Amino acid sequence: MTIERAGIRYKFIFLCLILFAFANVFLIQVLLVYESRENVKSEGFQDEKSEPTLKPSSTTDFSYRRIQFVSNGVDSFFKQSIFSTKHEHNFSSLLTVSPVADEVNVWNLASKWVSSSQIWPKEAPQLSHVVAALKQKKIVAADVSTKGTQLKLALVLEGGQQVLFKPKWYDRDHVITGNVYGGKDRHNGEVAAFHLARLLGLNRVPIAAMRKINLNTEILPVASKILSRTFYRKDNTTCFYGVCTYCRPTDGVCDDRRSLEGAIVLWLPQAFQLVKHRHPWQRSYSSAPAKWQMHANYCSLVKRSKKYQDESKLLNLIETSIFDFLIDNGDRHHYERFASGGPVLLIDNGKSFGNPDADHLDILAPLIQCCRVPERIVSVLTQLQNGALSSWLVKLMTTVENDTSPPILNLKHLQALDRRLKLVLSAVLKTRL
């Protein structure tokens, strides 16, 4: 009897211990939930039924720290051997130049290159002849261009080809401080972006070239009345202010008493109509943060949109963000596609190469938040590590432009490209951790 009572007593004690353990576990869970709710509240989140939101700077600051943390592992991780051989890129082929017969119309040649998926072919040995025509063909008509917010001219070159001319506002060494979208267009950035796109295989940037124009002998004699009315003289220089959103008579651009340098950009064929789309990662352009700066899961919100349920379209925007980060273009508030479909066209890259000392990581928000990236672009960037990007870009620009003074990009901007390439690969690596 005593043994039976002892057994019952031990069973009772054992049961009490089990119940006590369960009670402690339950209490710990309650405390953890309470603590997590307090942390969420302190981090700026709303209740569970609301969209989880971060403080305006949290997403960028956190990602920057993570990207910096993993940057040391980039060189050892990204080897070309980890990619499919179909992504190998022959950069030397971009330097190939083939002759064009005298009877060939280079404008027709460039027009035939355009399709719903490209503006020029990835290997175009006759491209230098199109660039030469942009730099040398006679200007037969000049007018204002009301496209966009910045000053530009709509020109017609000999042979009937329409082009845009973006004038020089800044010297090569000028640094744009403040907002990433601040300042006026950088004409050299437009040209450098075109050649960088060639290097990366992003054949969706309009062909652009550097050109110096004599305003008195090449523009005024063929200018429209609207354009000619905006011309004036200042300190023995010829100036004009044109017609645009931010154009003012008190803020014109002037020549150097001989000519005005600028970027001349080939107009796309009229048969290819453009459709403009609002960029889901558009900035607010005010002190108020944009939605993507507030929502940690913003990419999931974008993917719910019918437009981006096709993952290829989302990957296209991620690829675009990589290109924009490299050139420091934080002003792509809209993007264009051909009406017939196809990938994002990288049009209007004037707000690029403003500050070589700044790396605006938030431009990479589509990559950082979606944790997806096309293998092709990562493979190309891997081949351009350790200074190869700037080296090949200089070769491309000097070969096609056939003019090395002054350089399109100064040394600091070239070094910034190599540094940002490593940060892009760090961001890619961070998404895998």
pLDDT at position 55:
39
DSSP string, 267-282: PPPTTS-EEEEE-TT-
Question: What global pTM score does this model have?
Answer: 0.84
pLDDT at position 37:
40
Say whether pLDDT at 196 is over 70: yes
Burial of 144-155, coded b for 16+ CB within 10 Å and e otherwise, reads: bbeebebbbbbb
Q: How far apart are CA 144 and CA 270, in angstroms?
A: 18
What 3-state DSSP class applies to 387?
coil
Contact 382, 87 (CB under 8 A): no
pLDDT at position 265:
98
Least-confidence region, from 83-87, 127-131, 241-245, 292-296: 83-87
Contact 213, 139 (CB under 8 A): yes
pLDDT at position 95:
92
Say whether pLDDT at 56 is over 50: no
Say whether pLDDT at 34 is over 90: no
Q: What's the pLDDT tens digit per position in 145-179?
A: 988 889 999 999 999 999 999 999 999 999 999 99
Contact 318, 373 (CB under 8 A): yes
331 is catalytic: yes
Q: What's the pLDDT tens digit per position in 72-104?
A: 667 666 766 566 566 667 899 999 999 998 889
Say whether pLDDT at 224 is over 90: yes
Q: What's the first-to-final CA gap in the chain, in angstroms? A: 64
Q: How far apart are CA 418 and CA 165, in angstroms?
A: 29
Q: What's the pLDDT tens digit per position in 115-126?
A: 999 999 988 999
> Could you tell me the residue ranges of all domains in the chain?
61-432
pLDDT at position 13:
64
CA quadruple 195, 197, 200, 204: dihedral sign: negative
Backbone angle region of 402, left / alpha / beta, with phi > 0 → left and psi within -120 to 50 → alpha: left
pLDDT at position 212:
97
Q: What's the pLDDT tens digit per position in 310-344?
A: 999 999 999 999 999 999 999 999 999 999 999 99
pLDDT at position 28:
45
Q: What's the pLDDT tens digit per position in 349-392?
A: 999 999 999 999 999 999 999 999 999 999 999 999 999 999 99
Q: What's the pLDDT tens digit per position in 380-404?
A: 999 999 999 999 999 999 988 876 5
21 confidence band (pLDDT: 50, 70, 90): low
Question: Mean pLDDT, to the nearest integer, of 406-417?
Answer: 96
431 confidence band (pLDDT: 50, 70, 90): confident
pLDDT at position 4:
57
pLDDT at position 36:
38
pLDDT at position 370:
94
Say whether pLDDT at 433 is over 80: no
Q: Which of 143, 185, 255, 331 is catalytic?
A: 331
Question: Mean pLDDT, to the nearest integer, of 293-309?
Answer: 90
CA distances in angstroms from 349 to 21, 224, 248, listed in the order given? 64, 27, 22
Q: How far apart are CA 223 and CA 215, in angstroms?
A: 10
pLDDT top residue among 88 and 62: 88
Q: What's the pLDDT tens digit per position in 232-278?
A: 999 999 999 999 989 999 999 999 999 999 999 999 999 999 999 99
